[in-house]
């Protein structure tokens, strides 16, 4: 496997309705309002009548002194079950959100399979991979906390 390839699995549990959680994630252009680390989300192409095939340009920043920018096209969705997109740019790969509600608790899982396309990141990947993983986990923790705050809900686990 290439040094610049990353596979992340993030799980959140939040005491909120799946409806509220799903729409908060689906409407990613609103993420900068509640997700620390999401600097900007620009709509490049609107979703079609099925609510897919739209393209968003994302710019992210964490604790480390760099930003990441990529475009993501939503290619599949099943309302309140999953969302899947393909990324191109400084990160390239795919991301899938999964949602399941049990006893008024929504379980969220995000699978993010990407490779980096920034030359310096690829050059130093063998050394910095643990730091990039730490950075990813921080951003996802901020997302869980921001989502809970946005929905005025209890975050059970990250």
pLDDT at 3: 83
Q: Domain map of the chain by residue range?
A: 5-157
pLDDT at 153: 98
For residue 127, with 0-12 CB atoms within 10 Å meaning exposed, 13-18 middle and 19 or more buried, which class applies? exposed
pLDDT at 64: 87
Q: Model-level pTM? A: 0.95
Q: Please state the separation of Cα 3 from the chain's center in Å.
A: 21
> What residues in the chain have per-residue pLDDT under 50?
none
Check: CATH 3.40.50.150 for 5-157?
Answer: no
Cα separation, 132 vs 117, in Å, equals 14
pLDDT at 42: 98
Instruction: Compute how many other C-beta atoms are within 10 angstroms of the C-beta atom of residue 1.
Output: 7
Please list, in sequence order, all residues whose beta carbon lies within 8 angstroms of the beta carbon of residue 46, skipping any fewer than 6 positions away.
Answer: 54
For 70-99, the pLDDT digits (tens) are 999 999 999 999 999 999 999 999 999 999
For 126-140, the pLDDT digits (tens) are 999 999 999 999 999
- Give the burial string for 3-42 (b: 16+ CB within 10 Å, else e): bbebeeebebbbebbbebbbebbbebeebbebbbbbeebe
């Amino acid at each position: 496997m290439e040094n610049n390839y990353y596979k992340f699995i993030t799980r959140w549990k939040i005491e909120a309705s799946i409806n509220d959680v799903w729409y908060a994630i689906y409407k990613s252009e609103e993420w900068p309002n509640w997700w620390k680390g999401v600097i900007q989300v620009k709509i490049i192409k609107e979703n079609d009548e099925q609510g897919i095939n739209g393209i968003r340009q994302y710019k992210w920043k964490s604790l480390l002194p760099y930003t990441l920018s990529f475009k993501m096209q939503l290619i599949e969705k099943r309302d309140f079950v999953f969302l899947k997109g393909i990324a191109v740019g400084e990160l390239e790969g795919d991301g899938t959100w999964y949602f399941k509600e049990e006893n008024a608790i929504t379980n969220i899982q995000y699978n993010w399979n990407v490779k980096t396309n920034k030359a310096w990141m690829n050059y130093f990947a063998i050394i910095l991979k643990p730091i990039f993983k730490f950075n990813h986990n921080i951003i996802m923790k901020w997302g869980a906390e921001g989502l809970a705050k946005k929905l005025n809900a209890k975050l059970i686990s990250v």
